[in-house]
Amino acid sequence: MAGGLQPGPTGPYRDRDRMARKSRTAVLKRQREAKKAEKAAMKREKRMERDASRGEGGAQVATVDDLAGYGFADDAEPEDNESTG
């Protein structure tokens, strides 16, 4: 052959020498990163759903009947917390 060059491989492995081989650790790292990103996206989505449902219902306040049912109701009028004297 002229110039001392040999013909390269043919077929499905012809680009093998030109491309870097993927190490197993690099593949596993990429999989871990993808899994971590997916988990973070799921948490964000759940948090957004939870915040949206919390915002629609508004704040829940117990009524006097609810408090009476729990034993917290007092028939007397509310007292002032400030002491006089």
- Residue 3, in any domain of the structure: no
Q: What is d(CA 46, CA 41) in angstroms, rounded to the nearest whole number?
A: 9
- Residue 45, in any domain of the structure: yes
- Considering only CA atoms, give the Rg of the chain: 35
Work out the number of other CB atoms within 10 angstroms of the CB of residue 80: 7
For the whole model, what pTM was predicted?
0.40
- Residue 48, in any domain of the structure: yes
> Which 3 state secondary structure label does DSSP give 81?
coil
**Domain boundaries, position 25:** 21-74
Q: pLDDT tens digits for 53-83?
A: 776 655 678 888 888 888 886 665 555 555 5
- Residue 6, in any domain of the structure: no
Question: How many domains is the chain partitioned into structurally?
Answer: 1
Q: What is d(CA 76, CA 70) in angstroms, rounded to the nearest whole number?
A: 17
Q: pLDDT tens digits for 3-14?
A: 566 665 666 666
Please report, as a single letter, which amino acid is at residue 79: E
